[in-house]
């Protein structure tokens, strides 16, 4: 497990497990008063920052998971800290702090979005949370962009400033669904219709009759009833459905180690909130938990989905040109992508 997230690369950052030689950079960031504007009392002393870094190293040794140091891929300099750390059996804390001279570049957002996705895959069952000072508007924006939403008032921030008003933010949680209740069925049909009308690549074109979508839903439900498929529901803290997808198992015993992804969808009203990443990453974690080894999906070209799936280790393994006719004169390729659940490279055996 550790190998898969000890080091993570984003567009501009390398997020990696901390090492002893990172101690000075960590202390410099956490003792800089410029980073604590709304709560100057929270600035760490050098000894406190030193102890905090030691705890960060111990977290990795104990849990095999923890906060990364953030390295600028261009310069190789350590410029901050970001990631998630397990806290108890049910939660993981999201944290990010960057050098003051790097603020305003979107690096916190980039790191936080990656961290929440990684946690969704590798820390199943834990809810990602963050306590953020109410006056720290920038941090709130970063957390929101990473998929978290305000769920509760906390009278004490995690930095220990007891007099600083703070609120708790939490990411949606993912759960496996093996059968549909009437309520879940209705919510899912509403979600599928909204995604379809927004132009989502979920099997239909905008304006498709609700009856056709309901018929496709019934087919998936029959697969679920037969034990050949299960759903994954992404839900807000209050139970609202934010996203959904299916893993389907082939009835061919030669393909039993594989799972096929169908109808990955996120409420279009929540686009840009990292929920697609949380959903897909969480689904990969579900497949791993049940012993699947190979994951396969398909999409129609022109949707940009290849870039999205590629971020999660999927590789294009096949393409049928012009197989999907969206409209007269608008033919799209049917693209197949795959990845190994253990994140090892996809390699063909080369035989003909």
Note the pLDDT of residue 2.
39
Specify whether the CB–CB gap between 79 and 98 falls below 8 A: yes
Residue with tokens 């703070």: 166
Residue ranges of domains in the chain, CATH in brackets? 2-170 (3.40.630.30), 173-340 (3.40.630.30)
Mean pLDDT score, 247-264: 96
Mean pLDDT score, 282-301: 96
Note the pLDDT of residue 7.
87
Note the pLDDT of residue 38.
65
CA 41 and chain centroid, separation: 33
> Residue 270: is its pLDDT beyond 50?
yes
What does the alpha-carbon distance between residue 127 and residue 121 come to, in Å, rounded to a whole number? 12
91-98 sheet: strands from edge to edge? 7-9, 13-16, 67-72, 78-87, 91-98, 127-133, 166-170, 149-154
Largest CA distance in the chain: 70
Specify whether the CB–CB gap between 173 and 286 falls below 8 A: no
Query: Phi then psi for 278, rounded to 5 degrees?
Result: -60, -40
Residue with the larger pLDDT of the pair 162 and 288: 288
Cβ-based neighbour number of residue 222 at 10 Å: 11
> Residue 19: is its pLDDT beyond 70?
yes
Question: pLDDT for 178-225, tens place per residue?
Answer: 999 999 999 999 999 999 999 998 989 999 999 999 999 999 999 999
pTM: 0.91
What does the alpha-carbon distance between residue 141 and residue 81 come to, in Å, rounded to a whole number? 17
> Residue 261: is its pLDDT beyond 50?
yes
> DSSP per residue over 138-206, as a string?
HHHHHHHHTT-EEEEEESS-TT--TTS-EEEEE--EEEEESS--HHHHHHHHHHHHHHHHTT-SSSS-T
Residue 21: is it exposed, middle or buried by C-beta count within 10 angstroms (0-12/13-18/19+)?
Answer: exposed
> Residue 51: is its pLDDT beyond 90?
yes
Cβ-based neighbour number of residue 273 at 10 Å: 21
- Confidence label for 127 from pLDDT (cuts 50, 70 and 90): very high
CA 83 and chain centroid, separation: 12
Residue with the larger pLDDT of the pair 212 and 6: 212
Least confident of 53-57, 80-84, 244-248, 302-306: 302-306
Residue with the larger pLDDT of the pair 192 and 6: 192
- Confidence label for 34 from pLDDT (cuts 50, 70 and 90): confident
> DSSP per residue over 319-336, as a string?
EEEEEEEEETTEEEEEEE
Mean pLDDT score, 46-73: 93
- Confidence label for 156 from pLDDT (cuts 50, 70 and 90): low
Q: Is 112 helix (H, G, I), strand (E, B) or coil?
A: helix
Least confident of 59-63, 158-162, 300-304: 158-162
Q: Is 125 helix (H, G, I), strand (E, B) or coil?
A: coil
Residue with the larger pLDDT of the pair 237 and 112: 112
- Alpha helices by DSSP H, listed for 11-68, are 23-30, 46-63
Note the pLDDT of residue 317.
95
> DSSP per residue over 219-277, as a string?
HHHHHHHTTSEEEEEEE-TTS-EEEEEEEE--SSGGGTTEEEEEEEEE-GGGTTSSHHH
């Amino acid at each position: 497990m550790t190998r898969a997230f000890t080091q993570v690369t984003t567009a501009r950052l390398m997020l990696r497990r901390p090492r002893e030689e990172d101690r000075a950079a960590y202390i410099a960031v956490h003792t800089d008063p410029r980073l604590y504007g709304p709560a100057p009392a929270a600035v760490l002393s050098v000894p406190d920052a030193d102890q905090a870094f030691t705890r960060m190293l111990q977290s990795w040794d104990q849990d095999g998971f923890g906060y990364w140091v953030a390295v600028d891929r261009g310069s190789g300099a350590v410029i901050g800290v970001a990631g998630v750390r397990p806290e108890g059996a049910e939660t993981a804390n999201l944290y990010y702090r960057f050098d003051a001279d790097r603020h305003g570049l979107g690096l916190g957002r980039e790191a936080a979005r990656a961290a929440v996705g990684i946690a969704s895959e590798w820390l199943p069952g834990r809810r990602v949370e963050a306590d953020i000072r109410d006056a720290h508007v920038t941090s709130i924006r970063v957390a929101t962009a990473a998929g978290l939403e305000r769920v509760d008032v906390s009278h004490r921030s995690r930095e220990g400033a007891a007099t600083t008003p703070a609120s708790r933010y939490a990411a949606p949680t993912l759960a496996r669904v093996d059968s549909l209740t009437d309520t879940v069925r209705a919510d899912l049909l509403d979600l599928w219709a909204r995604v379809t009308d927004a132009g989502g690549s979920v099997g239909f074109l905008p304006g498709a009759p609700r009856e056709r979508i309901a018929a496709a839903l019934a087919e998936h439900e029959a697969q679920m009833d037969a034990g050949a498929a299960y759903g994954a529901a992404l839900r807000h803290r209050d139970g609202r459905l934010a996203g959904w997808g299916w893993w389907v198992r082939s009835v061919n015993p030669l393909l039993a180690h594989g799972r096929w992804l169908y109808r990955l969808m996120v409420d279009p009203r929540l686009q840009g909130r990292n929920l697609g990443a949380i959903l897909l990453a969480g689904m990969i974690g579900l497949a791993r938990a049940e012993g699947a080894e190979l994951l396969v999906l398909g999409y129609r070209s022109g949707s940009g989905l290849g870039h999205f799936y590629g971020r999660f280790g999927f590789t294009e393994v096949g393409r049928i040109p012009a197989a999907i006719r969206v409209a007269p004169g608008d033919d799209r390729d049917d693209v197949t992508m795959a990845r190994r659940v253990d994140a090892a490279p996809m390699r063909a055996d080369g035989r003909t």
